[in-house]
Amino acid sequence: MPSKIRKICVELPKTLFNPELIMNSGQVFRMLKKQGMYHVYSGDKAIAFKRRANQYEFYTTIEDWNEFWVNYFDFNTDYSKFNEAIRNSKDEFLENSMKMCQGMRILRQDLWETIVTFIISQQNNIPKISKTVEILCERFGSKRSYYTGLNTKDIQYFYTFPSADRIANLSLKTLSDGTMLGYRAEYILELAKAVKSNKFSLEELQNLTYEEAMKKLQSVKGIGPKVGNCICLYGLHLLESYPIDTWMKKIIEDDYSQYSLEEYKLYIDSNYKGFQGYVQQIQFYYKRNL
């Protein structure tokens, strides 16, 4: 018997959870806003929510809420201590980043989906990444329902993210044609086959340290240091990851010009140990929205 959709109300100021920021922070590609509600799709699950007065109203089952979404939104991590440490470090660029990014969080996304979407992200732009992921889901995922309210008329539909098994069974042509994947299709198909045959174990990946996970991820064709760090950060929630892309390189040039790239990385690792990934996220957002 299917469990009942409920309205789950959470008292939560915007400074602790700002979906608008998170949605536009380049960490997630299946979060959108329509008709005043936020919709999030992750793996084979979906949720809708909105802000009303001083609280957020989430529409889902008690089970999915407790067993999936609380963890997904990382509601058990205290970001205020990160912000406090940033304030104490007296880094002007970072303090400005923090002011703009009150309510930023690092989502705990589905691992397989994170791996694929960040392989897609290389040499690509954010709108096109979102569009490509959407096409993959519509074409190879399964249609499922979710609710934006408590009434039967509030039903909506979405497509799940295609599993590794599903993708592994596609031909390269089917995966490539009209999906905008380009040369990345081969990377994804090859990895999907390795996951299906358990030559590349996603379960095993979850139990590794940052260094071990990076090494294993970079053994995959199509995953280098930047994409590997994104997967560690968003798919494994290893907050010591610090992805350096073109925007972060520009930040180092423009705003930390006293450091070489190596010196800068040492500066970040020593001053923001254990939450470098959060630091990166707010810097990235700030630079892109100056």
Q: Which residues bind DNA (CB under 7 A)?
A: 25-27, 121-128, 176, 178, 180-183, 218, 220-228, 230, 243-248, 280-281, 284
Which of 11, 3, 9, 10 has the alpha carbon at shortest distance from 61?
A: 3
CB of 221 to DNA, least distance (A): 5
Q: How crowded is residue 131: how many other Cβ atoms within 10 Å of its Cβ?
A: 14
User: Between residues 8 and 185, which has the closer beta carbon with respect to DNA?
Assistant: 185
CB of 184 to DNA, least distance (A): 7
Looking at the DSSP assignment, which residues form a beta bridge with residue 144? 158
CB of 101 to DNA, least distance (A): 12
CB of 214 to DNA, least distance (A): 10
CB of 18 to DNA, least distance (A): 15
User: Between residues 25 and 83, which has the closer beta carbon with respect to DNA?
Assistant: 25
Which of 47, 175, 203, 45 has the alpha carbon at shortest distance from 119?
A: 175
The torsion defined by the Cα of 195, 246, 80 and 259, in degrees rounded to 10, comes to: 120
User: Between residues 27 and 42, which has the closer beta carbon with respect to DNA?
Assistant: 27
CB of 182 to DNA, least distance (A): 3
User: Between residues 2 and 127, which has the closer beta carbon with respect to DNA?
Assistant: 127
User: Between residues 60 and 109, which has the closer beta carbon with respect to DNA?
Assistant: 109
CB of 281 to DNA, least distance (A): 6
From the number of C-beta atoms within 10 Å of its C-beta (0-12, 13-18, 19+), residue 156 rates as middle
User: Between residues 83 and 121, which has the closer beta carbon with respect to DNA?
Assistant: 121
Looking at the DSSP assignment, which residues form a beta bridge with residue 155? 147
Looking at the DSSP assignment, which residues form a beta bridge with residue 147? 155
The one-letter amino acid at 132: T
User: Between residues 52 and 128, which has the closer beta carbon with respect to DNA?
Assistant: 128
